[in-house]
Amino acid sequence: MYPSPERIVEYNILALELIKVRKADRPKVLNLPALRSVLDDCESAQGDVYDKAVVLLRGLVQKHPFASGNRRTAFIAAKDFLLRNNAKFGVKDDPGYARVMQGIRENFYSEDEIKEWIKHGKIREFTR
């Protein structure tokens, strides 16, 4: 079961409501074609549901389709995608995930490392 662009937009609104970071955060789609591209890439990705979740997570973070909350939205979207497909999401919902998400944004982690993280919650520390 794949998310629609409308569902991802809803996740962005939810992410900005639930996880407040900046006062200026606002839910706004900056690049709808990029959002659709991420979802197309997710659907066409080879591999299992975790491989597809990696494509979804990384794509939303790196293609930056929203004005605010791209990493928070990606986290929620990947988690919901896995749960809706009867898969386990191994990352704890705590502020520590923000450093990993920054590493994903900066292309610090390989796809295999991200897959291990979302499956089992284990990943090497992000450093610059």
**pTM for the predicted model, two decimal places:** 0.93
Are 39 and 74 within 8 A, CB to CB? no
pLDDT tens digits for range 27-64: 899 999 999 999 999 999 999 999 999 999 999 999 99
Average pLDDT, the chain: 94
Q: Is the dihedral of CA 78, 32, 21, 98 positive or negative?
A: positive
Task: Sketch out the chain's domains with CATH numbers.
Answer: 5-120 (1.20.120.1870)
